[in-house]
Amino acid sequence: MKTRIYYSLIVFAGLCVFMACKKMDSTYKQYIVEGGIPYPGQAKSARLLPGKNRAKLQWLRGTDPKIVKSKIFWNNYTDSVELAITADQKVVSYTFENLEENFYSYTIRNYDAQGNASVAVEVSGNVFGDKYQDRILERPVSSAYLKNSDALAINWNEADTVTGAYKTEVEYTSTTGATKVIRFAARELVTEIADYRQGTSFKYRTLYLPDSLAIDTFYTGYITNTQVLLDKKEWKLIAFSDQYSAGNEAAKNMIDGSQYTRWHTNGSPYPHSITVDMGAVRTIKRFSTLNSLYDGPGGDNRAPIRIQFLISTDNITWTNLGEFNSDNVILSEQFYQMPAVATGRYFKLVGLQGPAGNSQYMVLGEVSAYIF
């Protein structure tokens, strides 16, 4: 008996729920469009590609064949632009020109022929201009060397990749006399140019992309490099007058590339000299010397105050390139301009005279040669 009552209650409850749902359906039936509201497919993979005072909106049309146009809205839907979409179109894009450097937001909707709109898709991003241009930095050259292979090796300082530096560009004169331009990754620290024409300058600049999606490249101004050294790693010291010891005082320290080593003579009277084989015949525009910092930041004041340079093609017959005054105290690089013709494979540096009170010992840190 109890079981029958229990099942009767369940059936009654089910009838009540069914009748309630029927009543609800009749209440909302007047608001339902037969077949549902058709929403065209929305813009796919929409993105903003920033540029220099412009922005390009780009998205995929998608597979919905009903789409006939798209609208781009901005300024809270108060401004818009309409684009016709063809059936075979795969990618849709529109570029906004003459924009101020700022952050922008746009909304994209697709439409069918009946005017039904898709779900809105919002894209946003930065546009760049003069403010960004003013922040980018030139990538400096650390040094430029001519190798015995006649290749020009350029050593670079680090580029500002955080701000967007991605390429370095070099414009140079080739061995044929043509002007060439090469580009390479900003993270590259050494660049070799095999067909560089000796005796010519080169110029360079840094290329920036403010964003990985940027459609415009920003450039620093060109910098002209007018200093090209000979690569001392390929030099050999083949003779010297004397040295205090073979280690820290050795004559070969004059071409090791460090101002913190030295050539220290053994106390015999002036003159003192070294002879260097550059490994190839070169035309030298100027030589330079550095006083030694071996003894500390104040340097060593026993450097010569009068020096001489000579050059030879065979290490037998020598041409005097002149005598020059030198400062025994200054710690920066000192330059000695050569006459019009200073061509050879070998050169001699001769210390002719020491400072007052020092007529014997001579201490010097480095010698270098420039072809431009």
pLDDT, tens digit (0-9, with 9 covering 90-100), for 42-87: 999 999 999 999 999 999 988 999 999 999 999 999 999 999 999 8
Q: Read off the pLDDT of each residue in 259-287 and give the average, rounded to a whole number.
A: 96
Residues 6 or more apart whose Cβ sits within 8 Å of residue 262: 248, 249, 253, 292, 294, 300, 363, 364, 365
Q: Residue 36's pLDDT is what?
A: 59
- Round to whole Å and give the CA distance between 222 and 39: 54
Q: What percent of the chain has pLDDT over 70?
A: 90
Q: What's the pLDDT score for residue 35?
A: 53
In contact, 109 and 71? CB cutoff 8 Å: yes
Please report the pLDDT score of residue 358 as a whole number: 84
First-to-last C-alpha distance (Å) of the chain: 116
Average pLDDT over residues 96-108: 98
The CATH class that applies to domain 136-227 reads: mainly beta
CATH, domain 234-370, list 2.60.120.260, 3.20.20.70, 2.60.120.10, 3.40.50.720: 2.60.120.260
Residue 357: pLDDT band (50, 70, 90) is confident
Write the DSSP symbol of residue 307: E
User: What residue type is assigned to position 110 of the chain?
Assistant: N
- Please confirm whether the linkage preceding 65 is cis (ω < 30° from 0): no
**Three-class secondary structure of residue 10 per DSSP:** helix
Q: The whole model's pTM is what?
A: 0.81
Q: Which CATH number does the domain 44-128 belong to among 3.90.190.20, 2.60.120.260, 3.40.50.880, 2.60.40.10?
A: 2.60.40.10
Tokens of 315: 């290490």
Average pLDDT score over residue span 122-135: 98
- Name the DSSP class of 103: E
Q: Collect all residues with Cβ–Cβ distance below 8 Å to 33 and sequence separation of at least 6.
A: none
Highest mean pLDDT among 8-17, 199-208, 351-360: 199-208
Q: Which of 253-257, 264-268, 334-338 has the lowest mean pLDDT?
A: 264-268
pLDDT at 228 over 80: yes
Domains 44-128 and 136-227 share a fold: yes
Tokens of 225: 């490099």
User: Do the Cβ atoms of 197 and 173 come closer than 8 Å?
Assistant: yes
Q: Please determine, for residue 19, whether its predicted confidence score (pLDDT) is greater than 70.
A: no
Please tell me the predicted confidence (pLDDT) of residue 21.
Answer: 46
Please report, for the chain, how many H helices and E strands are present, in that order.
Answer: 2, 26
Query: For residue 199, what pLDDT band results from cuts at 50, 70 and 90?
Result: confident
Q: Measured at the alpha carbon of residue 290, what is the angle toward residues 307 and 314, in degrees to the nearest 5?
A: 55
CB-based contacts of 252, cutoff 8 Å, min separation 6: 237, 240, 263
Q: Which two tokens stand for residue 344?
A: 């050879």
Whether pLDDT at 24 is above 50: no
**Of 9-23, 140-154, 196-210, 215-229, which range is least confident?**
9-23
Average pLDDT over the chain, rounded to an integer = 91
For residue 126, give both structure tokens: 């930065």
Structure confidence at residue 315 (pLDDT): 98
CA nearest to 211, candidates 44, 52, 46: 52
DSSP 8-state class, residue 174: B
Residue 25 in this model has a pLDDT that exceeds 60: no
> What band does 8 get if pLDDT is binned at 50, 70 and 90?
very low
Average pLDDT over residues 272-294: 97
Nearest-5° angle of CA 277, CA 282, CA 287? Answer: 75
Please give the C-alpha separations between residue 284 and each of 294, 320, 338, 347, 372, in angstroms, as whole numbers. 28, 13, 7, 10, 8
Domain ranges in the chain? 44-128, 136-227, 234-370
Residue 33: its pLDDT value, please? 42
pLDDT of residue 360: 86
